Amino acid sequence: MTISIDQKNDLEMVITSENPPTFNLATYLKTQQAAVEAALEGAIAVVYPEKIYEAMRYSLLAGGKRLRPILCLATCELMGGSSIMAMPTACSLEMIHTMSLIHDDLPAMDNDDYRRGKLTNHKVYGEDIAILAGDGLLAYAFEFIAAQTQGVAADKVLKVIAHLGRAVGAAGLVGGQVVDLESEGNPDVTLETLTYIHRHKTGALLESSVVCGAILAGASDTDLARLSRYSQNIGLAFQIIDDVLDITATQEELGKTAGKDLQAQKATYPSFWGIEESKRQADQLITEAKAELAPFGAAADPLIALADYITARKN
């Protein structure tokens, strides 16, 4: 008897269900990244005035790890929801993240020429259009959730919009960026201030990625609190590793200028702890993050593997 591909796959499923395979992060990331790329590609059409839509698409579709959307999809699925429910929010997280990178790279802020291996938005379109491309992405992100989310009750969509709005504004990214700008070149920045900067500038959107995925799936308050602690820990670990990579990785690996923190006289975790202790602190945060997921068992494998990826990544 010839075995068809489907039957062969069925056979493989029987074999693997007897010996459950370990979760394969590389395959998972590839699948999820492809799904996110396809959704982002279809999210913004180029219409009149074409220049602004092209500028928005230039940075949005420039690659990147797509970590925030993937965290959102993974958490929604962990809590019993579907990727269809979460995809508009996942895309909007990437729109917000991308707009924050466009504005962060402006001459008035970090003044960077490269991002995601390409020229920065203002280098291609000019500062005026880059500011507006960021504004366009930010506004569209909220419109996109409100207009495109399907299969989720309106009160949950509203909760997601409120959570994300808080994460982006002065209580989140904007606040973190302000303290970061104020601290530049100040040799007396404390560890508390540095942690404030990163919990807000980087941590707030990563937390929102996880929590919003859970809200969409209707997670309980207990699970939301648990997932919030998980995401706060991975958020801080993410930034510690970012600081380490700024010193240890090359421009080719990072896709942006390396060594910027030292050049701008920024306080970083390695400047307080050194590289090895910084890595140890990040590992400790990841261990604590993963411990929060214990009650979910094997269903949390994607979130556990994503936490490990944060410290193992090379860019």
Contacting residues toward ligand GRG, per CB under 6 A: 64-65, 67, 97, 100-101, 103-104, 109, 116, 138, 168, 173-174, 177, 201-202, 239, 242
Neighbours of 199 (CB within 10 A): 19
Nearest to ligand GRG of 69, 81 (CB atom): 69
Nearest approach, Cβ of 106 to ligand GRG (angstroms)?
A: 8
Neighbours of 100 (CB within 10 A): 21
Nearest approach, Cβ of 19 to ligand GRG (angstroms)?
A: 34
Nearest approach, Cβ of 173 to ligand GRG (angstroms)?
A: 4
> What one-character-per-residue DSSP string does 168-230 give?
HSTTTHHHHHHHHHHHTT-TT--HHHHHHHHIIIIIHHHHHHHHHHHHHTT--HHHHHHHHHH
Q: Answer yes or no: are the C-beta atoms of 164 and 208 closer than 8 Å.
A: yes
Cα–Cα distance for residue pair 87/95, rounded to 1 Å:
12
Nearest to ligand GRG of 79, 101 (CB atom): 101
Nearest approach, Cβ of 100 to ligand GRG (angstroms)?
A: 4
Cα–Cα distance for residue pair 69/106, rounded to 1 Å:
24
3-state secondary structure of 19: coil
Nearest to ligand GRG of 55, 173 (CB atom): 173
Q: Rounding to the nearest 10 degrees, give the CA dihedral for residues 71, 256, 272, 195.
A: -40
Nearest approach, Cβ of 206 to ligand GRG (angstroms)?
A: 9
Nearest to ligand GRG of 117, 218 (CB atom): 117
Cα–Cα distance for residue pair 183/286, rounded to 1 Å:
27
Nearest to ligand GRG of 104, 292 (CB atom): 104
Cα–Cα distance for residue pair 210/189, rounded to 1 Å:
30
- Find the residue with minimal CB distance to ligand GRG: 64
Nearest to ligand GRG of 120, 239 (CB atom): 239
Neighbours of 222 (CB within 10 A): 9
Q: Answer yes or no: are the C-beta atoms of 99 and 135 closer than 8 Å.
A: yes
Nearest approach, Cβ of 98 to ligand GRG (angstroms)?
A: 8
Nearest approach, Cβ of 18 to ligand GRG (angstroms)?
A: 38
